[in-house]
Structure 1
Amino acid sequence: MTDIHPDQRVAVLVDAQNLYHSAQSLHSRNIDYSALLSKAIQDRQLTRAIAYVIRADAPEEESFFDALVDIGFETKIKDIKTFSDGTKKADWDVGMSLDAVTLANHVDTMVLCTGDGDFSRLCSHLGHEGVRVEVMAFESSTADELIDASDTFLDLGDRHETFLL
């Protein structure tokens, strides 16, 4: 990667639901969030690291949330919503985007850990604000428009021995 220097201020925003489902469907494994954060920071100054998670009342999720905090993430937790027809929905797209826009004035680089193409417009906006945007996700489940909108893309699938447990 180019344009990385130790004085850069970095924010790392992780769409945990998106990464979880990609890691499970592609590799039947879980993400190593410690390795993910370490690679995202790359010896730069961490301003904020936020993991956006969904509470679905699974037995192990509270210990997972605690582990994220121990690694160095702030967690933002949203309860899954079940609608009258039985469908379930929970996503952090708007919350993540608002945080990114709010943080843009305080960082040089924003690392988005998601493959969700809905964030491509956010990448463009951050770029216009002078913020470098790096995306880390699994290329095979990442929207082309997100890859195209970012300054750099790191395929977690290329280094699954590093990023998967």
Structure 2
Amino acid sequence: MWDNFDSDPVFPPEQVLENRGRVAIFIDGSNLFYAALQLGVEIDYTKLLYRLTAGAKLLRAFFYTGVDRTNEKQQGFLLWMRRNGYRVIAKDLVQLPDGSKKANLDVEIAVDLMALVDYYDTAVLVSGDGDLAYAVDAVSYRGARIEVVSLRSMTSDSLINVADRYIDLDQIREDIQKTRKSNLTYDAFSPYHLIENRDPEE
């Protein structure tokens, strides 16, 4: 009876929780970037938004990322994100002693989770960072439902333990990766800013 209690509490991606209400999405850009590298896929951010919203009413989708102001390609990507349904929260990258660059946005994510808790019913957190577990737990005590989406090998157990639902990115990779031709496009007049392209002959 108790044999399965040692296994990871992973809910199947097809499981849709009822009464998700208003959904707010919080994406740790760096965490998602490295997860995609491990999976060997390139994220289609239009499809990602469509998958995470799953037909619910989207309050807002936040994308948190470190930024190099001199990187024109990155600036172009962030401009595209802003015009395609995302609110971008950016912080300048800081060079570390080993020569690498990093921007920690845990505080910004935690503050926004708490500040908006009265306006959403479900928070979708795309991150595996255990430093966010305390904020997630605090939000759940305020009555919000928490869904954590991340790669299992990069996800802290402490974060999974305080979530109402956990989805392994590997289980939904087919739904969110770039393909030669995506069947979703941005539509400013759609309530979710997403429409499905249909064959003209249908």
TM-score, normalised on structure 1?
0.89
Amino acid at match of 1:53: T
Conserved 8 A contact 2:128-2:159: yes
Q: What is the aligned partner in structure 1 of residue 159 from structure 2?
A: 146
Deviation at 1:32, TM superposition (A): 1.9
- Tell me whether 1:118 sits opposite 2:131 in the alignment: yes
Secondary structure at 1:104's aligned position in 2?
coil
Q: What is the aligned partner in structure 1 of residue 149 from structure 2?
A: 136
| Cα distance in 1 for residues equivalent to 2:154 and 2:97 | 30
- Rg: which structure is higher? 2
Task: Report the number of matched residues.
Answer: 163
Deviation at 1:59, TM superposition (A): 4.1
Q: Which runs of 4+ in 1 moved over 6 A?
A: none
- Tell me whether 1:5 sits opposite 2:35 in the alignment: no
| Cα distance in 1 for residues equivalent to 2:98 and 2:128 | 28
TM-score, normalised on structure 2?
0.74
Q: Share of identical aligned residues, percent? A: 31
| Cα distance in 2 for residues equivalent to 1:146 and 1:32 | 25
- Which residue, 93, 107, 116 being the options, matches 2:106? 93
Deviation at 1:153, TM superposition (A): 0.8
Q: Structure 1, unaligned stretches of length 5 or more?
A: none
Q: What is the aligned partner in structure 1 of residue 90 from structure 2?
A: 77
Deviation at 1:83, TM superposition (A): 5.0
Deviation at 1:27, TM superposition (A): 2.3
Deviation at 1:124, TM superposition (A): 0.8
Q: Structure 2, unaligned stretches of length 5 or more?
A: 1-14, 179-202
| Cα distance in 2 for residues equivalent to 1:42 and 1:29 | 21
